[in-house]
Chain A
Amino acid sequence: AQSVAQPEDQVNVAEGNPLTVKCTYSVSGNPYLFWYVQYPNRGLQFLLKYITGDNLVKGSYGFEAEFNKSQTSFHLKKPSALVSDSALYFCAVLTGTASKLTFGTGTRLQVTL
């Protein structure tokens, strides 16, 4: 069975500092990995995905994520956080043969001035 872990319920960062939101996964087979963001009272928006190829994936709003197969991780990063990045972030995993996208429990990112 596939699973995703987001070990931090909340991450606090000062504006201008780099941020990292952690995600680890467990699948059998090659994973498809995704990050989604949810702003207050909104649905989920796609940020970026890893399917194959370069381990560093760039996405929307200046976010990027690094796929690390040996550590089964897919951490979300941004070099310089903005207050407007404050939201709930979800990591998700899908294997090529699976019909089901499995989500982590979410990490709340709080960026302060």
Chain B
Amino acid sequence: EAQVTQNPRYLITVTGKKLTVTCSQNMNHEYMSWYRQDPGLGLRQIYYSMNVEVTDKGDVPEGYKVSRKEKRNFPLILESPSPNQTSLYFCASRTQGVEQYFGPGTRLTVT
């Protein structure tokens, strides 16, 4: 089954404690992205990747890092999380011009 998986689905952490949210897709897609969803703001892109070792900033990249060492994986790293990064995060993948497939989401709370 074609899918995008994210882990963990729920995470509660404290300010400053480094965390990683994993994302994996099994469709051999070139493009992968991370979004955050906040009420009234819709989905805002954090980072995207056009292929292995090729990443670029989206609309709200501050406080986040990503890497794309393998085509299927695109982890999101928060080196020093802060409360304003409390949000619902989605990973997504697509191939050129085709619809984007979304993961189930990770709800992050930073206290």
Residues of A within 8 A of B (CB): 9, 32, 34, 36, 42-46, 49, 51, 90, 92, 94, 96, 99-106
Contact = CB atoms under 8 A, between A and B. Distances in A.
Given A32-B97, A34-B100, A36-B100, 6 more contacts: A43-B104, A46-B101, A101-B45, A101-B100, A103-B43, A103-B44
A51 B58 contact: no
Given A99-B48, A99-B56, A44 B102 contact: yes
Interface residues of B, number: 24
20 contacts: A9-B40, A34-B99, A34-B100, A42-B104, A43-B102, A44-B43, A44-B92, A45-B102, A51-B97, A94-B97, A96-B97, A99-B31, A99-B50, A100-B45, A101-B33, A101-B94, A101-B100, A103-B35, A103-B44, A106-B42
Nearest to A94: B97
A46 to B, nearest CB: 4
- Chain B at the A interface: SS class: strand
Nearest to A41: B105
Contacts of A44: 43, 90, 92, 102
A46 B99 contact: yes
B90 A100 contact: no
Contacts of A105: 40-42
